[in-house]
Structure 1
Amino acid sequence: MDYIIRKMKAFEYPFLKDFLYEAIFQRDETNLLPKTIINEPALKVYIEDFGKKKDDYCLCAEVDKKIVGAVWIRNIVGYGNIDDETPEFSISLFKEFRGYGIGTDLMKEMIKYLRNNGYKKASLAVQKDNYALKMYISVGFQVINENIEEYIMVNYLS
């Protein structure tokens, strides 16, 4: 599959609503959460006023001029927060574009961006049975903490 990865433009930030919803790991595909779930305070912090915080940065994947995935960072108090200096990753792809390596390439490009811009580490949270866990490990994330449902992971960028 041919795709390009590029910086998301500010006028495209509203697409992050769709990608935030897609980022929610839903075990039961026959009983999906309502899309309004992204308005919950614990979730909307990932996209609300995106582009206005110092560390907000987003890359997207494009197939045939359509945005099909995104990876973005923010320095927020989210599920994967470890301190007030470390940006937290969010990533998702539309279902039909998963399994082609696009997510891995998005992660690698964001890691490269973070390294080139002097970041020391990045974090994320992932549910323990999420298929993406293997991909996060493959790009350098390691588990540093956990709770009942999730691993807290860090990529030490140096």
Structure 2
Amino acid sequence: MVELTPPPRQVAEEVWPRIPNVYGVDLRAALPDDAEFLSDMLVEAINWPPDRAWSKRQILDDARNAHYVGGWKRTTDFGVVAIGGPAPGWPAACGEPGSPIGAAWLRYLPADDPGYGFVDADTPELTMALYQPWRGQGIGRAVLRRLLGDAAERGISRISLSVEPGNRAQQLYESEGFVVVGTDVGGSFTMLREGA
């Protein structure tokens, strides 16, 4: 398991410690300029099953999805972006070496425009994705742990999310302290993590 110590807080553009894996992945804070990439990650998150291939337009034209990234970066938005280093067999679908390969971010949504994992307006909702070739290598866990650490530093004690049955990410979330607190009409689980 990847264990990272919290970085000293200096500037948002700071690159945090390198994740020890064969790909040389770095983590950094999500920036206002990451809006388009976060939209791409939202598409990855929604299209997680191999038989689903909704277009970016289909996903972002649906207000139930668009509010996860629309107007990024609000003052209460924050996240973590994973940057992939050069690697043998770098997947062309993931851009050039040194490009973003995954992200996790938190956004507060209001009761009159709730997200799929909405618990209450005081609990931010987690969205997270990696490009498929980078999954299953501990990168997602490192990104999530960095985000959870940042949330704790900001005094955020509750985080929610939504995950569909069968998504392997549910195991990651459970191992990081999220528990199922409900099921929506479509069968997705609402999960909540309380405490630091």
TM-score (norm 1): 0.93
In the alignment, the residues of structure 1 paired with residue 33 and residue 47 of structure 2 have an alpha-carbon distance, to the nearest angstrom, of: 27
Gaps of 5+ in 1: none
CA contact (8 A) 1:122 1:154 kept: yes
Within the candidate set 55, 72, 80, 1:59 is matched to: 80
**1:31 Cα deviation (Å)?**
5.1
Give the alignment's TM-score, normalised by structure 2: 0.75
Distance 1:26 1:100, change over 3 A: closer
* Structure 2 counterpart of 1:71: 104
- The correspondence for 2:40, drawn from 5, 9, 18, is 18
Secondary structure (helix, strand or coil) at the match of 1:43 reads: helix
Distance 2:147 2:163 in 1: 17
For residues 18-41 of structure 1, what are the alpha-carbon distances to aligned partners after superposition, in whole Å with 9 as ceiling and x for unaligned?
A: 1110011443x2552222122211
Instruction: Determine helix, strand or coil for the equivalent of 1:107.
Output: helix
After superposition, the CA RMSD in angstroms is: 1.4
> What corresponds to 2:130 in structure 1?
93
Stretch deviating more after TM superposition (31-40 or 119-128): 31-40
Identity %: 27
Deviations 1:27-68 (A, max 9, x none): 3x255222212221100000000112x321021001122100
Question: Which blocks of at least 5 consecutive residues in structure 2 are unaligned?
Answer: 1-21, 86-97
Give distance in 2, aligned partners of 1:125 and 1:8: 21
* Structure 2 residue identity aligned to 1:18: D
The answer (yes or no) to whether the contact 1:25–1:127 under 8 Å persists in 2 is no
Deviation, structure 1 residue 13: 2.1
Structure number with the higher strand fraction is 1
- Output one character per residue of 1:47-92: Cα deviation in whole Å (capped at 9) or x when no partner: 000112x321021001122100000110012000100100000000
Task: Flag as ranges the 4+ runs of structure 1 deviating above 2 A.
Answer: none
**Which shifted more, 55-64 or 141-150?**
141-150
* Paired letter, 1:85: D
Aligned ranges 1:5-154 → 2 under 5 Å:
5-27=27-49, 29-30=50-51, 32-39=53-60, 40-52=62-74, 54-64=75-85, 65-76=98-109, 77-147=114-184, 148-154=186-192
Q: CA deviation at 1:11?
A: 1.6
Instruction: Pick which of 91-100 and 4-13 moved more.
Output: 4-13
- Cα distance in 2 between the residues matched to 1:103 and 1:135: 8
User: Which entry has the higher C-alpha Rg, 1 or 2?
Assistant: 2
